[in-house]
């Protein structure tokens, strides 16, 4: 273990730090993000957290939004697409699915490349992998001239059926590499069928590669003594020097860290079934974990599919910085636009548009003098003035307007939880809501009330919980391959072909990443199969085991209400993950024995506690305010109550009780 291990999560509003020292000490920190140059906030935070950090041997795992922001703002590299002649429109036609079926005025998001950036190459491979037309020298030169004449910074290559036989792609790729260029080949990144998804993923990766690569290089240059890893959307991290090649895997970099730490804590507390509720300054991320991580290959960003396995996280534009606005019909709306870190909410001093954080402050749910551990002053007078202006336009009082903002943002978050649970066959009432992120504690119980969830946990380090997951993230390397293997349940005679493919993928990983894989222990393998009934259009991703067919039946029934035992199955793809353990997580989450009997705890005496006027859902009331640090483990807290922490505030509503267990707040609904 390194002397200092850092998890750094760059969000849209704040950058979070968790520092683990070799002697076991843990420090936490939070600073405002610097969107124009995210590395500035990292360096500023490190100066405050660890003086002389440039001289210290550091190991850093970084969750970054650089790639995501570059995509959303269309500030990626100037990219061209080299594709089989006749398929130049693949990226623009897509699946011909309308984003809003009945909207006659629907507008597509801006393109990441234009049609003129696509060059058709005369080559052809058929669906069996046979080369029908090999690449000629003339086509190679044509591609090179096209790139040089237009000055492209990034190159994506996606040929038809290259997942089956990459020969033509490899020939063009190696030719361009000899000319000093760095193309992204679909057959290396995603050797799987479905040309639109493969092409989209490859183009996005090429588009973001130079941006993410340059950012990580700059960070590495600033921190020469640091060993830097970057979090991937699939739950693991990779060395920063490698991440430019797979930049598309950083799209959900930060949120993945939060889910990792939440599931580890849930298991340690004996609550493996959780729904994560991560509300930050810009967005809310929710994920359902039924005792394990769930992955998806169907992630889309502004209509563009990314067909790589990611932790199944659903994101909505509902954060503390989400802006309240009035639509053309005169209705109040909240989000998805966020005030971010600059200018930030009105109460930060520079913003001029009311946000969710401003509404919470006006309603008394935030204590301005205790914000960010007392390091940041909030301007309540400006909030009242602008909230009054917004209310007048709506015909509402400032208080009614603020309560409306809270109700709207809560509704958006409740819908997000329903999408990952009820709409996928899971009953949220069977799950514990794991609440973290700077803004989550003020909204978690109202969300739980709407969903009839009985238990909420607010972890220790809740305000920087995603950074915790980053700090202990393991190295993960992946490979996949399309297979199209027909399997008849009860007659798995083709098992050898499947085993052979799995071994081939393992060998590829070990040969490609031998420098990062130790000789002894500390690693494990995970295998997933994409399975469907023969004739179906889409697959389910199932962990490979001796009972994978039975698991497929269960998952199919959960999602679609039925399963068929006498219909042939088809394995369309196989993917293998090698996990190299960094041996850090046990420093944060050790196995916790069963806690005290909740019902037998005595109520904590709050007679001398400070009291404050808070606008609650039912009524206004003067309620106690207590620092989380003063809550002992032998007593119980009854709502309504406001609990302050350095980087978050928890609103304990009436009808809920809480107790502190090993630093984690366990909150239960009263009978």
Chain Cα centroid distance, residue 621: 37
Given a contact cutoff of 8 angstroms between Cβ atoms, the answer to whether 441 and 285 are in contact is no
Burial pattern 248-261, b for ≥16 Cβ within 10 A else e, equals bbbbbbbbbbbbbb
Q: Residue 272: what pLDDT?
A: 92
569-580 and 523-533 beta bridge pairing: antiparallel
Tokens representing residue 306 in the block: 């990314």
Q: Residue 518: what pLDDT?
A: 67
Task: Locate all alpha helices (DSSP H) within 94-154, ordered by sequence.
Answer: 137-150
User: Which CATH number is 475-581's, of 3.30.70, 3.30.1490, 3.40.50, 3.30.379?
Assistant: 3.30.1490
Burial pattern 402-431, b for ≥16 Cβ within 10 A else e, equals bbbbbebbbebbbebbbebbeeeebebeeb
Identify the segments of the chain with pLDDT beneath 50: none
Contacts of residue 670, defined as CB under 8 A and 6 or more positions apart, other chains included, come to 638, 655, 656, 657
CA 456/CA 668 separation, integer angstroms = 6
Burial class from Cβ neighbours inside 10 Å (0-12, 13-18, 19+) for residue 448 reads buried
CA 138/CA 323 separation, integer angstroms = 55
Q: Residue 22: what pLDDT?
A: 80
CA 518/CA 534 separation, integer angstroms = 41
CA 588/CA 264 separation, integer angstroms = 9
- CATH fold of the domain at 76-207: Rossmann fold (3.40.50)
Q: Residue 493: what pLDDT?
A: 63
- Picking from 74, 73, 92, 95, the residue whose alpha carbon sits closest to that of residue 83 is 92
Tokens representing residue 595 in the block: 């806690």
Q: Three-class SS of residue 269?
A: coil
For residue 242, give the H/E element and its range.
helix 240-243
For residue 59, give the H/E element and its range.
strand 58-63
Torsion of CA 395, 399, 404, 405, to 10 degrees: 110
Given a contact cutoff of 8 angstroms between Cβ atoms, the answer to whether 340 and 350 are in contact is no
Given a contact cutoff of 8 angstroms between Cβ atoms, the answer to whether 341 and 286 are in contact is no
Alpha carbon separation from 501 to 92, 418, 431, 506 (Å, rounded) = 33, 38, 37, 9
Residues forming a β-bridge with 81: 118, 156
CA 187/CA 274 separation, integer angstroms = 37
DSSP assignment of 632-655, as one string?
-TTEEEESSEEEE-SS-EEEE-TT
pTM recorded for the entire structure: 0.89
For the chain, the domains span 4-71+213-253, 76-207, 475-581
As a whole number of Å, the end-to-end CA separation of the chain is: 47
- Helical axes 380-394 vs 398-420, angle rounded to 10°: 90
Architecture of domain 4-71+213-253: 2-Layer Sandwich (3.30)
14-21 and 26-32 beta bridge pairing: antiparallel
- Picking from 258, 203, 250, the residue whose alpha carbon sits closest to that of residue 240 is 250
CA 472/CA 584 separation, integer angstroms = 5
């Amino acid at each position: 273990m390194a002397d200092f291990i850092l998890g750094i999560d760059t969000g849209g509003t704040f950058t979070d730090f968790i520092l683990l020292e070799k002697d076991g000490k843990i420090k936490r920190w939070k600073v405002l993000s610097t969107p124009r140059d995210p590395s500035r906030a990292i360096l500023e935070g490190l100066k405050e957290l660890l003086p002389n950090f440039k001289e210290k041997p550091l190991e850093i795992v970084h969750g970054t939004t650089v790639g995501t922001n570059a995509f959303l703002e269309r500030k990626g590299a100037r990219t061209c697409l080299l594709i089989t002649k006749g398929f130049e429109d693949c990226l623009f036609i897509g699946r011909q699915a309308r984003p809003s079926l009945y909207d006659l005025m629907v507008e597509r998001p801006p393109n990441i490349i234009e049609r003129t950036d696509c060059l058709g190459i005369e080559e052809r491979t058929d669906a069996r992998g046979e080369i029908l037309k090999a690449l000629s020298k003339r086509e190679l030169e044509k591609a090179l001239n096209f790139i040089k004449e237009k000055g492209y910074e990034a190159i994506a290559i996606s040929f038809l059926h290259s997942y089956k036989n990459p020969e033509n792609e490899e020939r063009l790729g190696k030719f361009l590499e000899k000319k000093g260029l760095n193309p992204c080949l679909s057959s290396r990144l995603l050797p799987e069928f479905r040309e639109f998804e493969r092409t989209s993923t490859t183009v996005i990766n090429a588009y973001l590669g130079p941006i993410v690569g340059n950012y990580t290089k700059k960070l590495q240059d600033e921190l020469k003594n640091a060993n830097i890893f970057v979090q991937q959307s699939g739950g693991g991290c990779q060395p920063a020097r490698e991440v430019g090649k797979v930049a598309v895997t950083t799209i959900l970099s930060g949120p993945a860290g939060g889910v990792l730490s939440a599931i580890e804590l849930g298991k340690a507390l004996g609550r493996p079934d959780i729904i994560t509720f991560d509300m930050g300054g810009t967005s809310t991320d929710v994920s359902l974990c039924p005792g394990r991580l769930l992955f998806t290959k169907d992630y889309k960003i502004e209509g563009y599919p990314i067909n790589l396995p990611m932790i199944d996280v659903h994101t909505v534009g509902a954060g503390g910085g989400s802006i309240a606005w009035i639509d053309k019909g005169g209705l109040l709306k909240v989000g998805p636009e966020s005030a971010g870190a600059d200018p930030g909410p009105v109460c930060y001093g520079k913003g001029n548009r009311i946000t969710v954080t401003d509404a919470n402050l006006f309603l008394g749910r935030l204590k301005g003098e205790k914000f960010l551990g007392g390091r940041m002053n909030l301007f309540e007078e400006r909030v009242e003035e602008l909230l009054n202006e917004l209310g007048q336009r709506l015909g509402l009082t400032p208080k009614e307007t603020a309560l409306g903002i809270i109700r709207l943002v809560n509704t958006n978050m409740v819908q997000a939880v329903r999408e990952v649970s009820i709409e996928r066959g899971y009953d949220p009432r069977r799950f514990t809501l794991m609440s973290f992120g700077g803004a989550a504690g003020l909204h978690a119980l109202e969300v739980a009330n709407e969903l009839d969830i009985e238990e909420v946990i607010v972890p220790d380090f809740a305000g920087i919980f995603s950074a915790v997951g980053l700090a202990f993230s393991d190295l993960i390397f992946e490979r996949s391959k399309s297979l199209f293997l027909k399997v008849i349940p009860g007659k798995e005679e083709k098992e050898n072909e499947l085993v052979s493919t799995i071994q081939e993928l393992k060998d590829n990983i070990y040969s490609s990443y031998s420098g990062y894989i130790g000789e002894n222990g500390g690693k494990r393998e995970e295998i997933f199969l994409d399975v469907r009934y023969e004739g179906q259009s889409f697959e389910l991703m199932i962990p490979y085991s001796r009972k994978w067919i039975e698991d497929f039946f269960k998952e199919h029934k959960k999602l679609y209400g039925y399963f068929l035992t006498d219909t042939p199955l088809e394995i369309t793809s196989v993917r293998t993950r090698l996990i190299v353990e960094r041996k850090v997580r046990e420093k944060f989450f050790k196995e916790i024995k069963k806690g005290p009997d909740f019902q037998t705890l005595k109520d904590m005496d709050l007679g001398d506690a400070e009291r404050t006027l808070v606008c609650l859902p039912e009524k206004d009331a003067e309620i106690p305010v207590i620092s989380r640090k003063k809550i002992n483990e032998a007593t119980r807290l009854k709502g309504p109550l406001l609990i302050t922490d350095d980087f978050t505030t928890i609103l304990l509503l009436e009808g809920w009780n809480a107790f502190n267990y090993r630093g984690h707040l366990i909150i239960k609904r009263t009978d």
